[in-house]
Structure 1
Amino acid sequence: MKVAHVLHMNGGVGHASYANNSLVQQKVICLTKPIREEAITSLYCNTVPRSLAVADLGCSSGPNTLLVVSEFIKIVEKLCRELNHKSPEYKVFLNDLPGNDFNNIFKSLDSFKEKLRDEMESRIGPCYFYGVPGSFYGRVFPNQSLHFVHSSYSLQWLSKVPEGVDNNRGNVYIGSTSPTNVARAYYEQFQRDFSLFLKCRAEELVKGGCMVLTFLGRRSDDPSSKDGGYIWELMATALNDMVLQGIIKEEQLDTFNIPQYTPSPSEVKLEVLKEGSFAINRLEVSEVNWDAFDDWNALEFESERADSLSDGGYNVAQCMRAVAEPMLVSHFGEAIIEEVFSRYQQILADRMSKEKTKFTNVTILLTKKA
């Protein structure tokens, strides 16, 4: 699997698009807002820059893409009013892999700027937007050109499927039946990738610049624990059933592994300390339900979406489809997709009726050392 070619969320605005199935990610961004407020306030008050460069790494497309950018500008503008400062200019860099639906983002910019101006009490500084395609596991920006870096639910994705996981039969990630070498290979790939990410960002951030990074992670030290990859284990169940019925070939399943690693807080902290360029200001763990509609009011959604609120299996399957469909199509072909997600929906519904299912989030606030 060439990850840079096939790892992108479903584009457009269709029923299986990421734009229409990213409420979990939105809730995570809302949950971590206090950490970003702390980071942005500290950054501005300590540097008072005339120009602020902000990068969102793994920005995807849809309603969440500009959520943090809007929040950043509002916080800085509020500080400017309180301190009687002139508004800075804003340079906003939106980064993702080349397959991302950047066109959808660019089409939304005019309405975003108009909405932002309407919401602000006073005139804001000029805002310049840039799309930056490319992997963040390498240099993406010039030396010392960024003040603030944000990434949410992106850094659990690896640069490639780890080598040496050929014996991970019947699994698509680290499962309860995976051999021990599989978990080790995944962890070592995470270490290489995250260390490189930190090194590159250290070169691109100004002194005192900061990052807020949120991973889909786990609490447990055991990478095969349920809070790490259970949702992929259930997808593997659907695929294994299709192998038994001859719909998918066994060797197809045995050669399919997800390029993801859900780290624990201690694993994230260890890599930061080893790389050495950043001070850790905060490291926190939070949780969200698999079904993002669990505790959201149906009145907040249009009637056709409200009808589906009670169908947790459908909601979670759609969320996962928006994320995983391009990878599945690349490996298995398009013909099996409807069948996979129909089975997956039923498996999810069954599990969710029997246990409380949650995603674990690991959020870290880092400041570049002098």
Structure 2
Amino acid sequence: MAGFSLAIVPDGLESNKGNIFMASTSPPCVLTAYYEQFQRDFSLFLKCRSEELVAEGRMVLTFLGRKSQDPSSKECCYIWELLATALNNMVSEGLIEEEKVNCFNIPQYTPSPAEIKSEVIKEGSFTIDHLEVSEVNWNAYQNGFKFNEAVDAFNDGGYNVANCMRAVAEPLLVSQFGEAIIDELFKRYREIVADRMSKEKTKFINVTVSLTKIG
């Protein structure tokens, strides 16, 4: 799973202490920095892809995104906030240096349909054929599939989500915190995620856009 991967972590995130992504406690300057980096990177992405396509060639993109206009809304940032909780718990126990968490931020942006549409129009290489939003449960096994007792372990939502996020984030985390803390971090993260999933509905938001090259 991933939102739009940024080329770099945006500048100006020094005030995002205690967070590792956009969050409900992030100051407005952090949200602005992320959005402006998304604008630059997505515009360049569209320009580069347009050079690879013939006239009227088509491209379909799917991002993790959000329906809300709020870039720090739970529907796109909650999954990272819970990982930050696990990291900060380890800071409080002296297992991780606080400064390492304060200067660590995920290079990703989860755009809204309006933000995607705005950048496509502004960049000018494509027209939008179709733009839609869909929802997927954090735990894929809640989507109507049934399993026998032999595979009940796979019905552990916390386990599934933690492993999915580990596949995405582990290289970044290892480069910042070292490999020694990873197993313990994701053990705690699994427990936090499982607790949240038992108390509320948790879903990822996908934004899909179909584009046609102009010319």
Say which of 163, 168, 184 aligns to 2:32. Answer: 184
Say which of 230, 240, 260 aligns to 2:88. Answer: 240
Say which of 317, 320, 332 aligns to 2:165. Answer: 320
**Structure 1 unmatched runs, 5+:** 1-24, 26-152
Residue 341 (str. 1) matches residue 186 (str. 2): yes
TM-score (norm 2): 0.96
SS for the counterpart of 2:142 is coil
SS for the counterpart of 1:363 is strand
Cα shift at 1:292: 1.0
Q: Relative contact order (alpha carbons < 8 A, sep ≥ 6): 1 or 2 greater? A: 2
Cα shift at 1:307: 2.2
Counterparts of residues 218-297 of structure 1 (less than 5 Å): 218-297=66-145
Q: Which string of whole-angstrom CA distances, capped at 9 and with x for unpartnered residues, describes residues 78-133 of structure 1?
A: xxxxxxxxxxxxxxxxxxxxxxxxxxxxxxxxxxxxxxxxxxxxxxxxxxxxxxxx
Q: Which string of whole-angstrom CA distances, capped at 9 and with x for unpartnered residues, describes residues 114-172 of structure 1?
A: xxxxxxxxxxxxxxxxxxxxxxxxxxxxxxxxxxxxxxx4x611111001101110000
Query: 1:111 maps to what in 2?
Result: none
SS for the counterpart of 2:87 is helix
Query: 1:168 maps to what in 2?
Result: 16
- How far apart are the structure 1 equivalents of 2:146 and 2:116? 36
State the superposition RMSD in angstroms. 1.4
Q: Which string of whole-angstrom CA distances, capped at 9 and with x for unpartnered residues, describes residues 326-364 of structure 1?
A: 110111000000110011011101110110000000000
Query: 2:208 maps to what in 1?
Result: 363
Say which of 192, 202, 208 aligns to 2:50. Answer: 202
Structure 1's consecutive aligned runs of 4 or more residues displaced over 6 angstroms after TM superposition are: none
Q: 1:302 to 1:161 in 2, by over 3 A?
A: farther
- How far apart are the structure 2 equivalents of 1:316 and 1:228? 14
Q: Which has the larger radius of gyration?
A: 1
SS for the counterpart of 1:279 is strand
Query: 1:101 maps to what in 2?
Result: none
Q: Which string of whole-angstrom CA distances, capped at 9 and with x for unpartnered residues, describes residues 267-298 of structure 1?
A: 00000000111110000000100111112534
Cα shift at 1:185: 0.2
Letter in 1 for 2:214: K
CA contact (8 A) 1:213 1:364 kept: yes
Cα shift at 1:302: 10
Aligned residues: 215
Q: Which string of whole-angstrom CA distances, capped at 9 and with x for unpartnered residues, describes residues 150-209 of structure 1?
A: xxx4x6111110011011100000011111100000000000000001111111110110
**Structure 2 unmatched runs, 5+:** none
Query: 1:7 maps to what in 2?
Result: none
Q: Which string of whole-angstrom CA distances, capped at 9 and with x for unpartnered residues, describes residues 34-91 of structure 1?
A: xxxxxxxxxxxxxxxxxxxxxxxxxxxxxxxxxxxxxxxxxxxxxxxxxxxxxxxxxx
- How far apart are the structure 1 equivalents of 2:145 and 2:157? 14
TM-score (norm 1): 0.57
- How far apart are the structure 2 equivalents of 1:263 and 1:253? 24
SS for the counterpart of 1:238 is helix
Report which of the two has the higher share of helix.
2
Letter in 2 for 1:227: E
- How far apart are the structure 1 equivalents of 2:153 and 2:163? 11
- How far apart are the structure 1 equivalents of 2:153 and 2:162? 12
Query: 2:155 maps to what in 1?
Result: 310
